[in-house]
Structure 1
Amino acid sequence: MSWDDDVTADVNDELFWDPKVDSAAIAVSADDGTVTLRGTVGSLREKREAQKAAQRVFGVISVNNQLKVRLLDGQGRADSDLRGLVLQALMLDSLVPTTVDAKVTDGFVTLTGTVDWQYQRDEADLVASNIAGALEVFNEIGIAPSAPNLADMEDSITKAFKRNAAVDADGIQLSTIDGAVTVKGTVRSWAERDEAIAAAWAAPGVTSVRDDLMIKY
């Protein structure tokens, strides 16, 4: 078997192993470490969980998620009803500020507004994606830090990398311009990549993070 055949088999096994994913209608292919997922799933959350499962597999460099959300009878909602459910869920989550709004078109949710931190943006995206009936979530929330501190941003992020046992700081390089951070270099897994990007976003004053990291096994 080729390397891609092994990756495909391992991703299939991981999808089957994950109880949050119904792998019966998912087809997997791999090309030089790039995994493509095709087929249908019952919810947007399941689509995202399938991608996470694929990213956990050794040898996977990137995931092209082409899964389609196909709602079961009775799960479809009018756009106005879906928007109301999304807004209510956002309001009930203490991590999401009231500056976040949502609109819905044909089951596709678009999040707008501004927040101070990336974690708030991520939380709003997670909350919206968990609402039954949502086919996809487009996150257009902007980040407007209330008190940017650009002077020691690069040093602070570098120290965060070194504190994190899951990150090999020696393989990562940083550059910052007016709150925009670029992270490049090599990491050993998707998990390490996620840790590095999360650490970069956590620095005060960061408005965007460009991920130029390469996964090398």
Structure 2
Amino acid sequence: MRRRTQMSWDDDVVANVSDELFWDPKVDSAAIAVSAKDGAVTLRGTVGSLREKREARKAAQRVFGVNWVDDELKVRLMDGQGRADSELRGFVLQALTLDSLVPATVDAKVADGFVTLTGTVDWQYQRDEADLVASSIAGALDVFNEIEITQPTPNAADTEESIKKAFKRNAALDADALRISTLDGAVTVKGKVSSWSEHDEAIAAAWAAPGVTSVRDDLTIKY
């Protein structure tokens, strides 16, 4: 009976994820196959751009019951969207330059359509912005973010306290269910959250603390 119930739950998750992909106008769901096991969803198939691949992952994460998404989608560029590596790098660098949130210390290289971001920034949001910009350029098959954060390391106690306060201020978070630890700018976030959106809020709050250079995600989604 338990197996039958779990299979029914997974079937519901698959159906709901498929519906969400179809519902999202940024995603062409026709070539995407969905499977699920114990709340872990796998996406397979092809999409027309890297941005669409990422939007499909976000759509799956929005669905109730999903606690993990394995994105195995492949980017297959439409005719006319393929670009030589040098041309693609030029477009990426131009877009990075035009974005005021991305500092001039960020660089990019391209090999076989795969973009690698390098350089240094002061904040995680700048890494995220550079990643978003590069992934939006037509012709990019994937983006690897190797940008380093170079903030001075703060006092560990100060970092923990500032993150805890940020958790408590955030109406989307149950601060009492979250725990953090820090060491030399590396933060670990543990605890239980009730959705992917709450998960993302907690990780974003941890990254926003001054001096944080990495965040380890040990959160568990419990519906």
Deviation of the 1:149 alpha carbon: 2.6
Counterpart in the other structure of 1:142: 148
> Which letter maps to 2:109?
K
- The number of residues matched between the two structures is 216
Alpha-carbon distance in 1 for matches of 2:206, 2:13: 30
| Residue of 92, 116, 124 corresponding to 1:118 | 124
> Which letter maps to 1:55?
Q
Q: 1:47 aligned to 2:53? A: yes
List aligned pairs for 1:158-169, cutoff 5 A.
158-169=164-175
Write the deviation string for residues 90-145 of structure 1: whole angstroms up to 9, x where unpaired.
Answer: 00000000100000000000000110000000000000000000000000001111
> Which letter maps to 1:140?
E
Q: 1:29 aligned to 2:29? A: no
Of stretches 173-182 and 149-158 in structure 1, the one that deviates more from structure 2 is 149-158
Alpha-carbon distance in 1 for matches of 2:193, 2:30: 32
List aligned pairs for 1:49-198, cutoff 5 A.
49-145=55-151, 147-150=152-155, 151-198=157-204
Q: Identity of counterpart residues, as a percentage? A: 81
Deviation of the 1:148 alpha carbon: 3.8
Q: Is the Cα–Cα contact under 8 Å of residues 153 and 184 in structure 2 kept in the other structure?
A: no
Gaps of 5+ in 2: 1-6
What is the CA RMSD across the aligned residues, in angstroms?
0.8
> Normalising by structure 2, what TM-score?
0.96
| Residue of 201, 212, 215 corresponding to 2:218 | 212
Gaps of 5+ in 1: none
Show structure 1 runs of 4+ deviating over 4 A.
none
Write the deviation string for residues 148-203 of structure 1: whole angstroms up to 9, x where unpaired.
Answer: 43241100000000000001001110000111000001000000000000000000
Alpha-carbon distance in 2 for matches of 1:132, 1:48: 14
Alpha-carbon distance in 1 for matches of 2:71, 2:213: 26
Alpha-carbon distance in 1 for matches of 2:64, 2:200: 15
